[in-house]
Structure 1
Amino acid sequence: MKPASLHRRILFPLLLCGGLLFALLFWYFSPFFSPGENRRFSAYVEERFHSEVTSSAITLHYTLADPASRGIAPGTASFGTVSIPDRTSYDALLQSVETTLTSFHRNRLSAENQITLDLLLYELNCEKMPGSTSLLAEPLGPSLGIQAQLPILLAEYPFRTQQDIADYLHLLQDLPRYFSDLIALEQEKSRQGVFQNDLAVDGIIRQCSAFLADADTPESHLLHTVFQNKLQASSLFSEAERNLCLQTHEKLLISCVFPAYRSLSDALSSLRGKGTQNAGGLSRQEGGLSYYAYLLRSRVGVDASPEELTRLLTQQLADQCAEMQIILDQNPSLSLSEQALVLPFSTPEEMLADLQNAVSEDFPVLSGIAYEVKTVDDSLKDFLSPAFYLTPPADVNSPNSIYLNPADEMTGIELYSTLAHEGFPGHLYQTVSFSRSDPLLIRHLYAPSGYVEGWATYVESYACRYAARNLDANTQALCRLWYLNRSVHLILCSLLDLGIHSQGWLLADASAFLAQFGITDASAAASLYQYILETPANYLKYCVGSLSFSQLLSEVQKQEGDSFSLIGFHEKLLRLGPLPFPLVEKYL
């Protein structure tokens, strides 16, 4: 998924606990007696995977198609819990986990287990950072908040068995309790002086209102329409059973789902005006810089400081602007505004087929990949991004579905590049490639966004070359210019993120920065400023992640010289799978 859009991530977040469950205490008190170090480690990660994947029914259902095959028995489906961990207790938990992890003899483990151990230690060290339990973490928000994700996650909830449908209905019943926990958290954030600003609150309230627009006619609500369509397409029930499910679903919408969204909207309305984040980013909040450092390390997956990242991105910006100027000097007639960059493809399927064939020039060949392009249902188009790849369960690796939102009406090079990001050689290709290496299931729960989104952004440069490879030189130059223009905008947004959250830039500072690059639309600047306030470090996942891959490419190319193989380089990256970049560099 592209930045500034709804969150593609399927795994439901364990809020404010950084992904480590208190159930892990079990491992501190339960020593293993397995004769082999690898078997001991495998048993640990398997039980840890069980503990974490069952933290919510959403996480479990989107990660495993057949939980029973992994020894996970059906339970009462819920959204999990929202909690504010006590730092002292949390540190004690982390210490117990560290004791267990450091008890393994690393040099006695297989190569795969060594990578997994290093990954878990990296995640542990992230959670030991002061900002990991910060109240500045915000589960709600107009763009990436839980209330925005839920309609998507519920609508796309696959029905493979009758138990799946029962779990889905239990989730609807659990929603008032879950939203009550979220409301309590927001009230505590208000008391602590870290509640979000009024623009963010107004955005969430508008979103809740849009979700409730059809509440008076529940039979036409988007969730009910999608539920009905899925039931009709399913052979799990008789006609009478389907009707009973529909009646139950409608009652739960009326008694649980709609009241939960109204309660959330009302509670946020009562807190409106009590936010303190109107005056700038995280650096202006107590503990904000620590929390931002935590985001850079845990979400973006880099060890660099904000100052180092600013220097790096500033140089990249200068390099790409210089390349754009060279292209324009050599082709003075080029103008992005005068040409639509129409490509010789009639459908998204044709574009994906072309991409799947073209990637063999630079990436390992993956045969036998089944996928489907789907159109977002009209009832969901206002809640979804222009395009997204729905990650399949890790135990079956299918179906592979790319969704396109008709509301966005993408065409030409923009659609081609987006399909590369979501499909080949982006998310779909990377996911299938890694899954075919049969990694430990816990690796699917620790996929740093910097690697995942960075990879999909990194490969867009290849896609633009593929799109123009059979066209005239003028169009090839225009495709490159289009890509560079797109990349420059992403860098500018990332530099804004760093300025706002690490240097305390106000709107006037952000506007002055954008004006240096000819962006003088006041409303656009204000909108972008607000988005970055709400989603710290989000742009960096895409931009810094992509740049990290490019840097690794340059370093390996320099080291290997004439023996360098681009396909071999990409094959190593894909085989390693999603990791923080210090570990990618270590094992590459």
Structure 2
Amino acid sequence: MKNFATHIVFLLLNICLINYSYAANSTEKNISTDQQLADIIQTHEAFYLKSSPFNQPKIAGNNAKLPDLSEEFLLAQYQQGLAIYQQLIALDNEKLTQENQINFSVLSYSLKNQLDSYTNNEHYMPLTAESGFHVWIANISKQVEFKTFADYQDYLVRLSLLPAYFSQQIYWMKKGLQAGISQPKVVLEGFEQSIAAYIKEDVTESSYYQPFSKMSVFIKPSQKEELRQQAKQVLSAKVMPAYKAYYDFMVNEYQPNARDNIAASSLTNGKEYYQNRLEHYTTLPMTAMQVHQQGLAEVKRIRAEMEAIIAQVNFSGSFSEFVEFLRKDPQFYASTPTELLKEASFIAKKMDAKLPSLFKTLPRTPYGVMAVPDNIAPKYTTGRYAGSARDDQPGNYWVNTYRLDRRPLYVLTALTLHEAVPGHHLQISLAKEMKDVAKFRNRTYISAFGEGWGLYSEYLGIEAGMYEDPYHNFGRLTYEMWRACRLVVDTGMHTQGWSRARAMEFLASNTALSLHNVKTEIDRYISWPGQALSYKIGELTIKRLRKEAEQTLGEHFDLREFHDQLLKHGSMPLSMLDKLITQYINDKSNGVTKL
């Protein structure tokens, strides 16, 4: 303990010396604020690259390593990040160029979240209701382009390290149980099934074995057989035991001792923690009550539009009866997974053709449509975008084909526009393809911006003519209502004492979501406090900015140009987006006035 305390003091002293030295050098050399920021960005990039072997896959040996999750390493990471953050926020943001103001905004936001995540002990809970580290780490084969014998050897070494990696994660989860920081017991029901899905008696059926099923043409036949035998041995001796140990821990120790209260505010310093997560995911200085009230107002507005559609289709029953009709009538459901995927693909391709009328700049990265992996599908959300791990891979729009009777077709258009185009795939790909920007900007995803854009993309489907009948438009409104309800139930459960049952009832009674989807979504919000707020808050901001542009610019408003202005700088906090778009409106307005 004494050595650990000495280590902390030593690190803090180093931070002070670094900051003092940096400030002194900046003053002596009279370095401009922009140059100071450039130096900090360079320091941060080096810090980022060294923080995980996943961040530098082209460095020799890194593909044979896994991240270090030891106490010493995480503490050192925190202290180094803190030193960079302190240097950053000491700058006078107003003296920076516009581009560097964006850099400042995005980097300070990202660094603050990394620091907050550590001080909030989020590493004690490396899982949510729908997924966890055992799923995330299974994607390591996608990080590498397998070409040489050494590529496969490195991968085998990495696999042999999985038991140690799992042990570190379990260590933190045990610390969490001791501190009362765990996922709530109720959202963990059935979670062990997602772990069991990775445990294979025949290891060649494991997803970890896939790189050895179809091997590089540059590998000799004799080497292929050698590598396959090694893979079977490592999977049997290392990987499967790691998953079995985690399964046993989950069932015998974690689930029985997990907390009973679902509210984030029930944790130590829970009210402060939830407010921190709220501000992180909305990027705005709002209170939980303000978000809650805004949600209720949106629910009321959207409900009126939904009632109008019910009247339009001449349905004689009540709102709840109409929703029940949508949930049960076979006409609204695919009969096979292939049918559902084909329908999603058709919608996506149809929207592709509409993009030039809405955007001047389109990404070059393609995307595919695929099913959510079977091992996580039962507790997974209805769909999601999975970006490419490398630049030689496409993005993927995942569609959940589990329980087809709970995957209505009337919401599929809205889902596709949100996850694929013009939603996440388009926005994230454009950000990755930005040229001449700091590298961290290409990889940064800010939820309020990205999810706000995704929900706004559903709205764009109206202008693109994508909702061909009242039922599909009702599906769009159901999805918008879903996001409005999130503002109510997330804040309700985490700050106002709402029960899980009350939240489920509120979401079920105001939307046409399947009851299975309602359950998985509420459990997601319980296990991921604040994230669900980002969608509606972001969308409302984008819609407000568009309205201001339309009203100010009148006939000179160009929707394609406006969308380019929204997306050209990548993901950013909403306050920065507001500043940029307001400046764009003013500049264009002045230019128009001079004509």
| Alignment partner of 1:203 out of 177, 181, 190 | 190
Offset at residue 348 of structure 1 (A): 5.0
SS in 1 for 2:388: coil
Match of 2:417 in 1: 420
**Preserved CA contact (<8 Å) 1:218 1:250:** yes
Matches within 5 A, 1:526-537: 529-537=522-530
Offset of residue 172 of structure 1:
1.2
Cα distance change of structure 1 residues 465 and 167 upon mapping to structure 2, 3 Å threshold: farther
Q: Which residue identity does 2:52 align to in structure 1?
A: S
1:457 matched to which residue of 2? 455
> Compared with structure 1, are the counterparts of its residues 502 and 121 closer, same or farther at alpha carbon in structure 2 (3 Å cutoff)?
same
- Equivalence for 2:10: none
Residue in 2 that maps onto 1:134: 121
Aligned-pair CA distance for 1:455: 1.5
Do the aligned residues in 2 keep the contact of 1:386 with 1:408 (CA within 8 Å)?
A: no
**Could you tell me which residue of structure 2 aligns to residue 399 of structure 1?**
394
**Residue 180 in structure 1 maps to residue 167 in structure 2:** yes
Specify the SS of the correspondent of 2:491: helix
Partner in structure 2 of residue 328 of structure 1: 310
Read off the aligned partner of 1:457 and give its amino acid letter: L
- Give the 3 Å change call, closer, same or farther, for CA 100–468 of structure 1 in structure 2: closer
Sequence identity of aligned pairs in percent? Answer: 19
Partner deviation per Cα, 1:215-250 (whole Å, 9 max, x = no partner):
x221223332x223442xx33322222222222222
**How big is each residue's C-alpha offset from its partner over 1:132-167, in whole Å with a ceiling of 9 and x where there is no partner?**
43358621234132123233x135344254354444
8 A Cα contact 1:349 1:373, kept in partner: yes
Conserved? CA contact 1:451–1:581, under 8 Å:
yes
**Deviation sequence 1:227-278 (CA, Å, 0-9, x none):** 23442xx333222222222222222211211111122222233424664631
CA contact (8 A) 2:411 2:472 kept: no
SS in 2 for 1:156: helix
* Structure 1 residues 37 and 180: alpha-carbon distance in aligned structure 2, compared to 1, 3 A threshold: same
Q: Superposed, which structure 2 residues align to 1:56-67 within 5 Å?
A: 56-61=52-57, 67=58
Which residue does 2:431 correspond to in 1? 434
- Which residues in structure 2 correspond to 1:373-388 (within 5 Å)? 373=369, 387-388=383-384
Bigger mean CA deviation after superposition, 93-102 or 522-531: 522-531
Does the alignment pair 1:361 with 2:357? yes
Counterpart of 2:51 in structure 1 is 55
Look up the equivalent residue of 1:303 and give its one-letter code.
Answer: P
User: Partner amino acid for 1:538?
Assistant: Q
User: Does the alignment pair 1:115 with 2:115?
Assistant: no
**Would the alpha carbon gap of residues 27 and 479 (structure 1) be closer, same or farther in structure 2, given more than 3 Å must change?**
farther
Aligned to 2:499: 506
Equivalence map 1:228-243=2 (5 Å): 228-231=212-215, 234-243=216-225
Q: Distance in 2 between matches of 1:486 and 1:161?
A: 43
Q: Which structure 2 residues correspond to residues 179-578 of structure 1 after superposition, within 5 A? A: 179-212=166-199, 214=200, 216-224=201-209, 226-231=210-215, 234-272=216-254, 275=257, 277-333=259-315, 337=326, 340=332, 348-366=344-362, 370-373=366-369, 387-392=383-388, 396=391, 399-404=394-399, 407=402, 413-438=410-435, 439-463=437-461, 466=464, 468=466, 471=468, 475=469, 477-510=470-503, 513=506, 517=510, 529-578=522-571
Cα distance in 2 for residues equivalent to 1:400 and 1:139: 25
Output the amino acid matched with 2:442: H
Question: 5+ unaligned residues in a row in structure 2: which ranges?
Answer: 1-12, 317-321, 582-595
User: Residue 416 of structure 2 aligns to a residue in which SS?
Assistant: helix
CA 1:397/1:290 → structure 2, altered by over 3 Å: closer, same or farther? Answer: farther
1:180-226, Cα deviation, whole Å (9 max, x unpaired) = 111111111111122334344443322222221x2x221223332x2
> Does the CA-based 8 Å contact 2:194-2:375 persist in structure 1?
no
SS of corresponding position for 1:459: helix
Contact 1:23-1:51 within 8 A present in 2 as well: no
1:19-38 aligned within 5 A: 28=19, 38=34
Deviation of 1:24 (Å) = 9.1
The change in CA–CA distance for 1:237 and 1:464 in structure 2 (over 3 A counts) is: farther
- Tell me the distance in 1 between the aligned counterparts of 2:398 and 2:505: 37
Deviation at 1:441, TM superposition (A): 1.0
Letter in 1 for 2:394: P
Residue 589 of structure 2 corresponds to which residue in structure 1?
none
| Deviation string, structure 1 residues 476-506 (Cα, Å, up to 9, x no partner) | x332222112221332244211111122222
CA distance in 2, matches of 1:366, 1:150: 31
TM-score, length of structure 2 as denominator length: 0.78
Contact 1:83–1:185 (CA<8 Å) still a contact in 2? no
Checking the alignment, whether the CA contact within 8 Å between 1:300 and 1:541 is kept in structure 2 is: yes
- How many residues are matched? 546
Residues 416 and 467, structure 1, Cα contact 8 Å, conserved in 2: no
**Contact 1:464-1:479 within 8 A present in 2 as well:** no
Aligned ranges 1:142-161 → 2 under 5 Å: 142-151=129-138, 153-154=139-140, 156-161=142-147
Q: CA deviation at 1:521?
A: 10
Offset from partner CA, 1:348-368 (integer Å, 9 cap, x none):
554333212212333334275
Distance 1:132 1:45 in 2: 23
Greater C-alpha radius of gyration = 2
Instruction: Give the Cα–Cα distance (whole angstroms) in 2 for the partners of residues 130 and 142 of structure 1.
Output: 18
Larger % of helix: which? 2
Pairing of 1:8-27 with structure 2 (within 5 A):
none
* Compared CA separation, residues 576 and 322, structure 1 to 2 (3 A): same
| CA–CA distance in structure 2, aligned partners of residues 386 and 167 of structure 1 | 35
Deviation for aligned residue 1:327: 2.7
- Partners of 1:136 and 1:397 in 2: CA distance: 31
> 1:368 and 1:93 mapped to 2: Cα distance?
36
Is 2:125–2:181's contact at 8 Å kept on the other side of the alignment?
Answer: no
C-alpha separation in 2, matches of 1:113 and 1:542: 27
RMSD over aligned Cα, in angstroms?
A: 4.1
- The separation in 1 between residues aligned to 2:223 and 2:264, in whole angstroms, is 52
Q: Which amino acid aligns with 2:556?
A: S
Distance 1:546 1:27, change over 3 A: farther
Which deviations, in whole Å up to 9, do the C-alpha atoms of 1:435-470 show, x marking residues without a partner?
A: 34313211134321222222122201223553547x
The amino acid across from 1:320 in the alignment is I
Per the TM alignment, residue 421 of structure 1 is displaced from its structure 2 partner at its CA by 2.3
Deviation larger for 400-409 or 260-269 = 400-409
Task: Check 1:558–1:385 CA distance in 2 against 1; reply closer, same or farther (3 A cut).
Answer: same
